[in-house]
């Protein structure tokens, strides 16, 4: 019992530190995730190791569920803080990253995993698909600010919207890896994958998310004042929207990650400028930070005791550097228009932060099928997430401050200025 009480007190200290550290060290190029991992590494050396009851990969389901819930909360928060209206032109850079950079990046990573790590087709595609999404949880420093705060410049908007959508859009590639792994028992695997895992699941996610957002937006803002949810002023309404959108979509065999983000966007369209959006966003962000802290402390402890990097060798290090320093920057750079200022183009290309989404996808897929070289897969993901958190965490603050200084006070987000693309050129225009 004493051990439990001591652990509870240490948990309280860690929670207070996560609230205090960003304020105390806001001028330093250090992100909160770095501190959380450092706390986890220190905890892993003590008798209060938070993962002392987890052995190897036996707790895959716990990892899957914890990262899953954290991600859907983060996706709701990301969707709620986007002020820009959804559109083909106003979201042009996002569509380029999703339609060009992500498939090209997955192909390059799969080839690299096969060539550098010796993985078979199923494992190589799974590793590449798991590493494809940029993380909505860890990328707060490169995301837009709370709703209606005027901090939606082009770099922050593009990285936020990309992180909100590519977590769900990576799923078809994860299911492709699962289908290949199960191919001997499924003769029609490709047709089933194309019709169900690509077409149906994506359509169900988009439609269900949009309907849930519209209906709950109406219930929040359009019902008589005595019955409208907005009257409660409770931020945990965001959690209800999140769980309902995710649950209904998963029951319909759709992609819940897509649905949650789309539901947030749809919810904003019902009443775009109400101050209640900030209450919802702030609650989502606080829950997200708490969950992130718990997971990253556990992640740091796992790294310390070696559970996640058992297969570490020079090949894994080379592959990790290939993914972070070559694949993401190169695939994103070529997908973005040359007319975009080089500084903004570089920032969007470089800051594709890998994190909890990669861990979730690997935990999910390995529960659906058997993959070869499981230890290599976990070690590769853990190493890449660790390097990404540290490298991007140290560089993102000074890089974004430099971009802000170049733009001066007249930031694109302040006046609704966006990049719009047509078939012949890319130009600056006003987002009407």
Find the CATH number of the domain harbouring 321.
1.20.1530.20
- Residue 424 included in any domain: no
Q: What pLDDT does 425 receive?
A: 40
Q: What pLDDT does 51 receive?
A: 60
Q: What pLDDT does 1 receive?
A: 54
CA distance 164 to 98: 11
Is the distance from CB of 382 to CB of 303 less than 8 angstroms?
yes
- List the chain residues with pLDDT less than 50: 56-57, 409-432
- Residue 84 included in any domain: yes
Is the distance from CB of 108 to CB of 175 less than 8 angstroms?
no
Residue 231 is given by DSSP the state G
- Residue 96 included in any domain: yes
The residue assigned the tokens 């369209």 is 269
Helices then strands, counting H and E runs in the chain, come out as: 18, 2
List own/partner pairs for 54-62 with CB under 8 A and 24 or more apart. Answer: 54/302, 54/307, 55/307, 56/307, 57/366, 57/374, 57/378, 60/363, 60/366, 60/367, 61/363, 61/367
Q: What pLDDT does 432 receive?
A: 37
What token pair was written down for 216? 């709950």
Q: Which helix (H) or strand (E) holds 173?
A: helix 171-181
The total of structural domains in the chain comes to: 1
- Residue 416 included in any domain: no
Beta strands in 284-363 (DSSP E): none
CA distance 348 to 266: 25
**What sign has the CA pseudo-torsion 27, 30, 32, 36?**
negative
- Residue 420 included in any domain: no
- Residue 353 included in any domain: yes
Is the distance from CB of 265 to CB of 147 less than 8 angstroms?
no
Q: What pLDDT does 394 receive?
A: 84
- Residue 185 included in any domain: yes
Q: Which helix (H) or strand (E) holds 419?
A: strand 417-421
CA distance 14 to 3: 16
Is the distance from CB of 384 to CB of 320 less than 8 angstroms?
yes
- Residue 432 included in any domain: no
Is the distance from CB of 378 to CB of 14 less than 8 angstroms?
no
Host domain of residue 364: 2-409
The residue assigned the tokens 């695997």 is 189
**What sign has the CA pseudo-torsion 32, 54, 307, 128?**
negative
């Amino acid at each position: 019992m004493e051990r439990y009480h001591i652990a509870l007190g240490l948990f309280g200290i860690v929670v207070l530190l996560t609230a205090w550290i960003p304020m105390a060290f806001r001028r330093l190029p250090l992100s909160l995730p770095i501190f959380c991992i450092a706390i986890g590494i220190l905890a892993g050396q003590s008798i209060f190791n938070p993962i002392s009851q987890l052995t190897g990969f036996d707790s895959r389901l716990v990892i899957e569920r914890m990262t899953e819930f954290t991600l859907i909360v983060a996706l709701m928060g990301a969707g709620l803080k986007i002020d820009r209206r959804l559109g083909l032109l106003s979201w042009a850079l996002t569509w380029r990253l999703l339609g060009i950079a992500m498939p090209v990046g997955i192909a390059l990573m799969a080839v690299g995993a096969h060539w550098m790590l010796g993985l078979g087709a199923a494992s190589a595609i799974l590793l590449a698909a798991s590493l494809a999404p940029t993380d909505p949880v860890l990328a707060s420093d490169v995301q837009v600010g709370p709703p209606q705060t005027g901090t939606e410049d082009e770099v922050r908007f593009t990285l936020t919207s990309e992180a909100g959508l590519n977590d769900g859009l990576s799923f078809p590639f994860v299911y492709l890896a699962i289908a290949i792994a199960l191919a001997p028992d499924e003769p029609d695997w490709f047709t089933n994958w194309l019709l169900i895992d690509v077409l149906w699941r994506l359509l169900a996610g988009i439609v269900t998310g949009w309907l849930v957002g519209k209906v709950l937006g109406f219930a929040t803002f359009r019902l008589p004042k005595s019955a409208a949810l907005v009257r409660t002023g409770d931020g945990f309404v965001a959690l209800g929207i999140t769980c309902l959108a995710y649950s209904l979509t998963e029951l319909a065999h759709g992609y819940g990650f897509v649905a949650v983000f789309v539901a947030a966007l749809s919810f904003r369209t019902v009443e775009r400028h109400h101050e209640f959006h900030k209450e919802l966003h702030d609650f989502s962000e606080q829950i997200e930070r708490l969950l992130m802290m718990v997971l990253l402390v556990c992640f740091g402890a796992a790294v310390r005791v070696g559970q996640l990097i058992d297969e570490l060798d020079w090949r894994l290090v080379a592959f990790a550097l290939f993914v972070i320093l070559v694949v993401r920057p190169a695939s994103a750079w070529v997908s973005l228009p040359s007319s975009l200022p080089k500084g903004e183009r570089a920032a969007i290309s470089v800051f594709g932060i890998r994190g909890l989404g990669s861990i979730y996808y690997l935990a999910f897929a390995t529960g659906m099928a058997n993959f070869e070289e499981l230890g290599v897969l976990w070690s590769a993901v853990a190493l890449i997430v660790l390097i990404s958190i540290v490298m991007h965490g140290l560089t993102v603050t000074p890089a974004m401050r430099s971009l802000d200084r170049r733009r001066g006070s007249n930031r694109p987000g302040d006046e609704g200025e966006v990049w719009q693309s047509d078939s012949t050129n890319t130009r600056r225009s006003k987002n009407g």
